[in-house]
Chains A and B, each alone.
Chain A
Amino acid sequence: MKVDLYNQLMRAGRLGRRDVLKGMASTGALAAFSGVATGISARPVWAADNASLRAQILKIPGVGAGSPTDADWQKVGELCLGPVKEVVQEGEFAGVELTFMGLNNQNLHNFLFRGFLKPWEAYTGAKINWIDLAQADYNARLQQSIATQTVDFDIIEMGAPFEGDVTGRGLASVMPDWVKSIIDMDDYVGYLKAPVGTWDGKTYRVSIDGDCHTFAYRTDYYDNEEFAKAWAEEGDGTPWEPPTTWQMVQKHTKFLAGKKDPLTGLDAHGYLDPLKGWGGFGFYFLESRATAYAKHPDDPAWLFDPEDMKPRVNNAAFVRAIQDVMDVMSTQPPDQINADPGTTAFQQFLAGTGSMISWWGDVGSNARTSDSSVVGDVVGFRHLPGSDDVWNHRKGEWETLASGPNEAPNMAYIGWGVYVMARVDSDSKKQKAAWSAAAHLGGKDLSLWTSAYPSGFQPYRNSHFNYGEWEEAGYDRAFVEDYLGSNADSYNHPNAAIEPRIPGIFQYYSVAEDELAKGFAGQYGSAQETADAIAKAWEEITDQIGRERQVELYKASLGL
């Protein structure tokens, strides 16, 4: 769980230790009862075989009992060693040294891994050396290691977008079958299952996190009677309620221009578009506007043509998304052209400017915990809006689906995973050691703990979304259902838009940001011209990296 989410839940739930222990006891009892009364086949997935263990680790240190420490991480690591012990003998890896490269964000990530793996080291006899990186240094360090053939780590914590750079070059070790059985991959949420984590049918990734964009909106705007009355007069006849399609988002955004924010009394604004680049991450926000237009349910591809890597970023769907942004630029706060996604979420939306944004989980968690947030009690969540029609790229026409609006939640960044490098493959003992460490970190029971306590990771298994379990543990049910529910709906959506895991994907995003900035500043004649400029720059990157190989890897990443 992200730190802020944890704090938010604590504040929202006003938990006391006694409540928590009561909750834990109930959870254990409920789990035990479910198992006995309904039989294995009918048991909820989360209860699994380790209900008592799960209840036990959730008591470390106890929800609401302060931030976990290294001692707690070690305890959790020790308790969750069971699956490793089934396949590894005590002292089996004596003399083996492994190097683990990961992040040190917020004193989490590697710091937790150290604690979790300490009991593993003690049991197996292996030793782990650590390379801690700041987020900003991560990409450069990884790319340079790859390009200069100086991969000096055996295990890496890595985001799925980099899979093309690593697994696509054969630098990663293929996951052995015994690891698959330990980590229970069937429990992963829909989009984290293959092809994510796989290349050419081989599995490489132990997931430890999930990521996607969801839609956050201000509930007070939609509870406001004045707005409702004005919408009845000025609107299109639809009820005044949170928009479910981008067409409605556009209408609401235009409608709100010139009105006053019910909370702050300042100018009201609709959807906030971050118009400034953010080291490549800013492009995810155009994607979130475009996926409902561009991701057809019958076509796994939406950003490039899998046959030849021709960009789709200048097709009608993306041009419409760019045009949407341009159409509402005049309704945005002043200086919006200089607002990056961070500004949009934390300095604007949470501070009471604007009524709708797309963002990862942090906005939900910061809403009530951040000192600068004023929207804690008036924020709602759902998966990204859909579209009345969807662009069929192959047919070259807009289609209206019989099933209703097309929805395609953007799985922006996909989430962190643990990967083992191929350099351990030449030493079977080292290889087994590395994979058992990765399996330990991605274990099902341990992941319950990381989803419930500050860890830097989001829930990513179906077993993490059992709201009853959260409630029994003492969390606020309404918030969990709303906030985590929006994530769960996105993760398991059958038409989720998953980004291409090809080499250099952030290069494409970065150059797109530069061209979009020019387009938004009026330096191109139209949305189409802006999109064409992006497409041209993408073609150059593809040619530079190598088109044939990119095609091959793109197809592999799509599972084609």
Chain B
Amino acid sequence: MSNKNASPALEQLRDQAIKNRASLEGKTLILVGTATCGRAVGALDVVRVFREEIERLQLDAAVIEVGCMGHCYAEPMAVIYKPGEPGICYGYLNEGIAARLPQDYLVEGDPCAEFALAAMEVHEYIPTFQDFPRGLIEQKAVMEHCGYIDPENIENYLAVGGYGSLAAALDRNPSEVIGEIKDSVLRGRGGAGFPTGLKWEMCGGSQEKTRYVICNADEGDPGAFMDRTILESNPHLVIEGLAIAAYCAGAAKAYFYVRAEYPLAVERIKKALQQAEKLGIIGKSMLGTKYSLDIEVFQGSGAFVCGEETALIASMEGEPGLPRHRPPYPAVAGLFGKPTVIDNVKTLSYVPLIIKNGAGWFRSIGTEKSPGTAIFALAGKLVNTGLAEVPMGTTLSQIIYDVGSGIAGNKKFKAVQIGGPSGGCLPEETLDTPVDYESLSKAGAMMGSGGMVVLDEGDCMVEIARFFLDFTQKESCGKCTFCRLGTKHMLDILERITKGEGRPEDINLLLELAEDVRAGSLCNLGKTAPNPVLSTLRYFRQEYDAHINEKRCPSLMCKDLIAYYILPDKCERSCDACVGSCPVEAIFSNEDRIKVINQEKCVKCDSCLVACPPQYRAVIKVSPPDEVLRREKGVK
């Protein structure tokens, strides 16, 4: 199949791309991150203001929309490359700052260090990203170009060496390429960790001529957004990986299965595919070889279970997304009964890098059994939330304290939830656990797809378990009885506990049900559904006991077990902040002008607690609710 002319063809395209980019030379470049995370906080307004200012000042500059660098906490962000100076990255932008920067920096030469996040290279008085603890731990492989190249312009990707691995792969036999991937020990990044090369080989070795390759971008885990960011920031990387996978598996048709909630990702993939087809990189006789591949985008319809590969296939066949028994694995009999390779977005993103740098390079990163990097979506109560790419084997505490800069608001760390609804909550004593497939499973969580939600002392672990069970219970497809009814019963029990109606025998009942649901479910949705309950019971049993025996929520979170109370000795009297903030007019002034909450009217919306000025902090939460009565009567 190989005829060794793909690489020269690509070389030509790359030269052309570099030549076309030459028009940007000598210009100031302003890169603004406009992935979904940036757009949500006004990045498009920032782009508009930059363009207006450049127009007004008649500057020789170009504003380019790029993806996300992973520092989502500081969005909207922009990197300004002024010719002859190191690039400077600005964070927390708004229209006002964006209106100032072109005048101050580009015209008058003041780099406005007060708005700068970091410099891209060594700078006189702005530190670089490498000067922060985060910079030392992070190792960007997949995300190397995210946030630096224009995802909607293929020439950007070609100029940084893009599609070189596809050309190199096309010039080799599929078996050689598979050998390289197997040699790298790349494991599926969707969560299960199946060796990728083996999967391709199974499909490629099939007698059946029609085969399919699917990129699984149905990222449904609440708290995970790695796939979205990669697709929005560097779609061509994933397309390249998908094309290599298709070549190795001998497929003529490939699909992107993207969830419906990611409209921007869908738009950018479609645009990227069009551009690649136009240049002859994808499509009929790719890069002048005999190999042809058609790639199509299929949009999911909002069912979490469709992230499971057999359910995903069912939904593409126009059926409700019910998983089926494995074996036969999709690599043997998948879409329309044909051999099908299904790989996660991140897995496919590593493929071009392994082809380019070799299997040895990949194995040199991370641990022996889990080589490479891991991408985590950091969310929850961290100072710096966002996306982090770290080598496998990095410890949890390094990720939370060095990359995420610790817990926000001077609160205490309580737990970290890893792996979404299938994962578990790990407490402080497990923070030395290195992140790799085996260590995390041993600690009671799982690698999952990479969502990491950090919880502080104000988060109730029973409520967390209830939240995840509520999710899996709603998303259960209903095929297996234990998953459909077992999760419902577990949820009922947890709801009872969070309402203060728990019974002493509930905990044993939960444990029994968890075992049954795990044993009686076909797919991983059901098999792992009890994990959040089991891990919280394992590490935070005392919280369950407080809810059941004392009808008290130690973290002051469960609504039925708390009440809001205004401390009379702290209330400032002449301040009305809480009264104005209350949406149901439950707060009134007593004869001493001290504010009091009418507990019958209160909807526990938290507004008064937020509104009370920090110098008073008079509003507090108490649990159990009758604590208010006790305090009002003055009984200490």
A, B assembled together:
no
Binding site for B on A (CB under 8 A): none
Binding site for A on B (CB under 8 A): none
